[in-house]
Chains A and B, each alone.
Chain A
Amino acid sequence: MNVIALVLLVVAASGFMYRLLRGPSLPDRVVGLDGLQSVVVIAIIALAAQADSGITIETVLVAVLVGFVGTTALSRFIERRGS
């Protein structure tokens, strides 16, 4: 992959990971998780463009849906049980 894109994605992932590990409350950590999901999706698509293959994009659909379900499930948990 283009080196610049790779570096930017690492910066993004470490930012979200910092919030995931450090965030003083549970919603902060869920924000980090949601961001990580988006970064993963972007990374897979960028890799698919680099490899010039459209097959791996099918996995992205599953990743988006699973990420969304995860975020919503964690939100329900926060609503019921607190931090």
Chain B
Amino acid sequence: MSLASEILIVAGCALAAIGGIGVVRFRDVYSRMHAAAKAPTLGLVLVAIGAAIEIGTLLAATTLTLVVIMQLLSSPVGAHALSRASRRQVDIEMDAVDDLTRDERSSS
């Protein structure tokens, strides 16, 4: 494997590991969503670039581009759906302002 693609793949896997450690260490649900939505996404992008360099065919490059686009679209939407749904179920503490609760209370 060429050096560039090895570095990229290792970096991508390192980002996934950071995401995994992040969901263990962060203390509330929303912070864990931060880690789970951002770190593996960039990790996937790096690994896909490394794999595209390594395999080298046009088919692999276009398929990996599609995978990256799909992940970039679906990861934030999944995090948003989850965070919106868990607002009612989970007691989440905030340290500072909470505009959403205030607006929900004032409109209901």
| Count of residues in B whose CB is under 8 Å from the partner chain | 54
- Contact at A46–B29, with CB atoms within 8 Å? no
Q: How far is the CA of A50 from the CA of B5 in the complex (A)?
A: 10
Main secondary structure, interface of A, reads helix
With beta carbons under 8 angstroms apart, the residue of A8, A28, A57, A68 that contacts B63 is A57
- Contact at A25–B89, with CB atoms within 8 Å? yes
Say yes or no: A45-B36 contact (C-beta < 8 A), given A19-B24, A75-B84: no
Chain A residues with a Cβ under 8 A of chain B: 2, 4-5, 8-9, 11-16, 18-19, 25-28, 30-32, 34-35, 38-39, 41-42, 45-46, 48-50, 52-54, 57-58, 60-61, 64-65, 67-68, 71-72, 74-76, 78-79, 82-83
Could you name 14 residue pairs across A and B whose Cβ atoms are closer than 8 Å? A2-B1, A4-B10, A12-B17, A16-B20, A19-B23, A27-B82, A30-B82, A31-B33, A38-B44, A45-B48, A46-B13, A54-B60, A74-B82, A79-B88
